[in-house]
Amino acid sequence: FPIGKEKSILNSPEFPILEKQNWLIHLHYIRKDFEACKAVIKEQLQETQGLCEYAIYVQALILRLEGNIQESLGLFQMCAVLSPQCADNLKQVARSLFLLGKHKAAIEVYNEAAKLNQKDWEICHNLGVCYIYLKQFDKAQDQLLNALHLNRHDLTYIMLGKIFLLKGDLDKAIEIYKKAVEFSPENTELLTTLGLLYLQLGIYQKAFEHLGNTLTYDPTNHKAILAAGSMMQTHGDFDVALTKYKVAACGVTESPPLWNNIAMCFFGKKKYVAAISCLKRANYLAPLEWKILYNLGLVHLTMQQYASAFHFLSAAINFQPKMGELYMLLAVALTNLEDTENAKRAYEEAVRLDKCNPLVNLNYAVLLYNQGEKRGALAQYQEMEKKVNLLKYSSSLEFDPEMVEVAQKLGAALQVGEALVWTKPVKDPKSKHQTASTSKAACFQQPLGSNQALGQAMSSAATYGKLPSGAGGTSQLTKPPSLPLEPEPTMEAQPTEASAQTREK
């Protein structure tokens, strides 16, 4: 070369290598040393005039972890502009849109990403989750089934099962979760969910089996412990249930359902002061939970503390104004507080709201009979007979002996005979003013000890995968992956209730 030309080549400026510090950015990121990572990113972007895609990508991830989702969205969009054929960039854009609650926009971006990679199970899964939030369950189901066809994952099974739960199809949900357990037999979340579904359907043997398997793999799983304890509590085994709850309390000391269930175990053992103490703690932790307020009212009624019972039952009605049994218990409290007129109003509302429970009509009939209103008492007694006959033919339940006895006494007092066929014979022909308790019926509000609502809207939080280990040097590193969208948090076991056992004077 001529001397001048050689000199010009030797003195020519060096072009920056865009990826030369990617290894260091990656190293700081996987160590979660975000401050050092951001410093290296800033230096890298200055050297490359903002054209280093990997640095922008990691900076966007950090911003999203810090809660700056809108800023992260802008950076991911820059990455998509720099590499328009990269599906990972589009998936991250869609994820940020999802976190901002823009589900329709997220679906559009996921569909664009699917054009670049048609065999990505994660895109199908995330589309299904977005459709769930839009309540388009059929489209969500199709996308999740496509995801399972491409690659089977626990989280996809969980979300598919959740769709059937939201539709109210428990049988299909159980079928999905059974397949999920066959695929992943050691997944405690799946085992617990399946056990809770069986518990909701009253299939206690299978429920206990799956919950037992959960505790085999994870002895401290508080959801399984709480559900198993509730099942024992339902069958009157209060001491064993309390032993289970003691184990759960070591892990979740601030769980309102746990303290509520402990309280109702004490209630079953007739340790009413301990029950109130535990219920007060549950109420402190969850002041808006109507079942806890219901139980407080019930225990105070049992202890004949009618003013306190009225206070808690009134609060429960504010949160659950469509439940007839609450108005019935409130009427019992008002009757014992000698406020007959308001007690009648409460009974009228209870009768209007509750179309299945004969106990409501029976208690109202007792009050009317005590007030000398025999015609009104007879009308309520006849309504009770209709409900009893309906329950006899629609279910195989056995009525509580106390309810049978009071109803037959009242029938004799009203001179309507004892033609109503009960499961228990009359023990005493004398008529006194007692209310009764009834067995659990499917159409009643589920009694507080049965825990029937445990499996509703259950879901699982996504498990984040580890980032790739990466390698040093100036080569382009694998980007931290996009992740499956997370469903809503799992619901804890519902508070249990106790059957309404009250007395009128």
Alpha helix stretches (DSSP H) within 117-203: 121-133, 137-150, 154-167, 170-183, 188-200
151-177 confidence digits (pLDDT tens): 999 899 999 999 999 988 888 999 999
Q: End-to-end distance of the chain based on CA atoms, in angstroms?
A: 117
Distances 159 to 154, 452, 459 between C-alpha atoms, Å: 9, 21, 7
pLDDT at 200: 86
For residue 238, give the nearest of 264, 199, 213, 212 by alpha carbon: 264
439 contacts 215 by C-beta, under 8 angstroms: no
Q: Encoding tokens for residue 225?
A: 């412990």
Kindly indicate the confidence band of residue 500, based on its pLDDT and cuts at 50, 70 and 90: very low
Weakest-pLDDT range from 48-57, 132-141, 377-386, 477-486: 477-486
354-390 confidence digits (pLDDT tens): 888 888 888 999 999 888 888 888 888 888 888 888 8
Weakest-pLDDT range from 272-276, 284-288, 387-391: 387-391
pLDDT at 477: 47
225 contacts 245 by C-beta, under 8 angstroms: yes
Q: Which residues contact 143 (CB under 8 A, 6 or more apart)?
A: 124, 125, 127, 128, 131
For residue 472, give the nearest of 19, 18, 14 by alpha carbon: 19
- Please name the residue that has the structure tokens 């769980």: 255
For residue 256, give the nearest of 222, 210, 231 by alpha carbon: 222
Name residue 344's amino acid.
K
233 contacts 261 by C-beta, under 8 angstroms: yes
pLDDT at 484: 65
Weakest-pLDDT range from 121-130, 227-236, 265-274, 296-305: 227-236
335-344 confidence digits (pLDDT tens): 999 999 999 9
The three-point CA angle 401-405-411 to 5° equals 145
pLDDT at 304: 92
For residue 403, give the nearest of 445, 438, 355, 453 by alpha carbon: 438
35 contacts 489 by C-beta, under 8 angstroms: no
Report d(CA 367, CA 344) in Å as an integer. Answer: 8
For residue 54, give the nearest of 499, 501, 468, 483 by alpha carbon: 468
260-274 confidence digits (pLDDT tens): 999 999 999 999 999
Higher pLDDT, 33 or 395: 33
With left for phi above 0 and alpha for psi between -120 and 50, is residue 434 left, alpha or beta? Answer: beta
Name residue 174's amino acid.
I
Report d(CA 185, CA 456) in Å as an integer. Answer: 22
Report d(CA 500, CA 463) in Å as an integer. Answer: 42
Average pLDDT of span 93-102:
92
Cα dihedral value 408, 412, 416, 421, nearest 10: 30
pLDDT at 2: 43
SS3 sequence of 417-463: CCCCCCCCCCCCCCCCCCCCCCCCCCCCCCCCCCCCCCCCCCCCCCC
Name residue 370's amino acid.
N
Q: Which residues contact 119 (CB under 8 A, 6 or more apart)?
A: 150
Report d(CA 200, CA 417) in Å as an integer. Answer: 39
For residue 109, give the nearest of 487, 485, 370, 412 by alpha carbon: 485
Report d(CA 372, CA 352) in Å as an integer. Answer: 22
